[in-house]
Amino acid sequence: MDFSILSVIIFLPIFVVFVLLALPVGAKGSRNAAFVTSIMIFILAMTVYLNFEFSGYMQFIEHHEWITSYGIYYSLGIDGFSLIILMLIATLIPCAFLLLWNGRTKAYWVNMLLIQSGITGTLFAQDLILFYFFWEAMLLPVFMIIGMFGTGNRVFSTIKVTVYTIMGSLFMFICILYIGVSFFEEFGVWSFALQDVVKISSFTRSEEIWLFFGFMIAFAIKIPLFPFHTWLIQTYSNSPTGGVFLLSSIMAKLGVYGIVRFVMPLFPDLYIEFAPYFVWLGIFGLIYFGIAALMQTDIKKMFAYSSASHLGFIVTGIFSLNAYGMTGALFLIIAHAMATGALFLLVGKMEYNLKSKNISDLGGIAKQAPIFTLFFMIMLLCIVGLPGTNGFVSEFLIILGAFGMQASAGIVSALTVLVAASFMFWMFQRAILQDTDNDTSNMKDLDLKEIIGLAPIAFLIIAMGVYPDWFLFKIEPTIQHYLVDILQIKAS
């Protein structure tokens, strides 16, 4: 490419934010600018995708001086793993904006744009300090959007998620500094570039273990992985629709991304050693959060637990140490983000119309809003893992990967699929299909903008389920690179 396309993708939303803040633009103008910006990001992301070569290594590399005296550089790059998350972000955000079209303020759209920049910066960063900078930059607009536009005890929720995230980030930052100092002591020069610090050979086993878990705590909080999940329910329940959409469908995936991007190459031996424990921790989270979801009466809290349950399944996949599990995990990142993000947007519309999230207050929505019900059902079937959806493909591959590691893990993970089916079908029958005496006459069906916003998501869920090879071929070399070159195990 003739220009720094990754930098443009990162900083275009920030540039638009500065323009919006400098000019007397109202809520509608800010909304239109945010939507146009998201479309431009999608076009740029498609340009990257179409020009991405069939390779497992970094591409579109940008490297510029920043704080050279301490070996800190503005270094960006993208491989198959980050490419698939980039396309996810670029596709979902403009679709979400169409469902968030009305009733939002200028500040709302400004914060949504800032979050998008922080996410993409985190995704592209190849220097540990730069990664940490963008990782923290995501936090402020999330803090603002929950605190300003949330519901219920939003102040407490904002403080709780902020404290949790900062504490996890502090552990990671200490580890990053320790790694940088260790590199200087071993090689005589400063560097925080990932490609350099992986060469450190002076760590003792105890040092590696502490550093490994320092990173893992930060990423486990972001996912969230049991037992670092206690911020989840209140935050998701009290967040505005756009905030919970970004938290569940995109930002949680960055915790998984961080494990693969940084923990795996920095500590490959420990990654392999502790992999079985994390496989079982992921399976435990899948069961624990699934049972918790089954016991909820608040539909938003149910989806929050459902989201955490499937993220546990993703963790099982990335620690399975084989191509089936890792490919399934990447595929489930897409499937889960699409379905869960869309469901939270639909629940937000339902809550706005009916002023309730309680399942016992709902019912009969299928008659009032048949198009709404159709899209709701497609997303639900993806979460359940119905054959013909990308949810089935991803869960099938992860189960195969779990079998490849331990037969018992494969058997248990296969049986746990029934948990998601139980609470999802129970909720759908009670809240959507079943006629009740509750007054749901205010429930409005989807308008044209909302249909246009959901249609690409529904299409991709089915297309990726029917013919997944269309979407897998660009990430296969990256999976091979992680397994063979980094972990040095057979890619099977």
Q: What is the pLDDT at residue 438?
A: 67
Under the banding of pLDDT at 50, 70 and 90, the label for residue 335 is confident
**Contact indicator for 188, 167 with CB cutoff of 8 Å:** no
Under the banding of pLDDT at 50, 70 and 90, the label for residue 246 is confident
Q: What is the pLDDT at residue 239?
A: 74
Under the banding of pLDDT at 50, 70 and 90, the label for residue 3 is low
Structure tokens at 233: 């329910």
427: which strand partners? none
Angle at 242 between CA 236 and CA 248, to 5 degrees: 45
Question: What does the buried/exposed string (b/e) look like for 125-143 if buried means 16 or more CB atoms within 10 Å of the residue's CB?
Answer: bbbbbbbbbbbbbbbebbb
Closest CA to 335 of 407, 420, 440, 275: 420
Question: What does the buried/exposed string (b/e) look like for 251-265 if buried means 16 or more CB atoms within 10 Å of the residue's CB?
Answer: bbbbbbbbbbbbbbb
* pLDDT, mean of residues 355-366: 75
Contacts of residue 419, defined as CB under 8 A and 6 or more positions apart, other chains included, come to: 286, 287, 290, 291, 294, 309
* pLDDT, mean of residues 231-236: 72
Contacts of residue 68, defined as CB under 8 A and 6 or more positions apart, other chains included, come to: none
Does 204 score more than 60 pLDDT? yes
- N- to C-terminal Cα distance for the chain? 34
Beta strand spans in 14-93 (E): 59-67, 72-78
Distance in angstroms (rounded) separating the CA atoms of residues 459 and 45:
19
- Higher local confidence (pLDDT), 126 or 417: 126
Under the banding of pLDDT at 50, 70 and 90, the label for residue 152 is low
Does 359 score more than 60 pLDDT? yes
Does 2 score more than 60 pLDDT? no
Mean pLDDT (the chain) is 83
How does DSSP classify residue 127?
B
Q: Please state whether 473 falls in left (phi above 0), alpha (psi between -120 and 50) or beta.
A: alpha
Contacts of residue 417, defined as CB under 8 A and 6 or more positions apart, other chains included, come to: 384, 385, 395, 399
Does 492 score more than 70 pLDDT? no
User: Which amino acid would we find at residue 111?
Assistant: N
Distance in angstroms (rounded) separating the CA atoms of residues 245 and 111:
13
Q: What is the pLDDT at residue 39?
A: 93
**Contact indicator for 333, 314 with CB cutoff of 8 Å:** yes
Does 221 score more than 70 pLDDT? yes
Q: What is the pLDDT at residue 50?
A: 87
* pLDDT, mean of residues 185-211: 87
Stretch (H or E) spanning 251: none
Closest CA to 165 of 143, 186, 183, 185: 143
Under the banding of pLDDT at 50, 70 and 90, the label for residue 10 is very high
Does 63 score more than 60 pLDDT? yes
User: Which amino acid would we find at residue 341?
Assistant: G
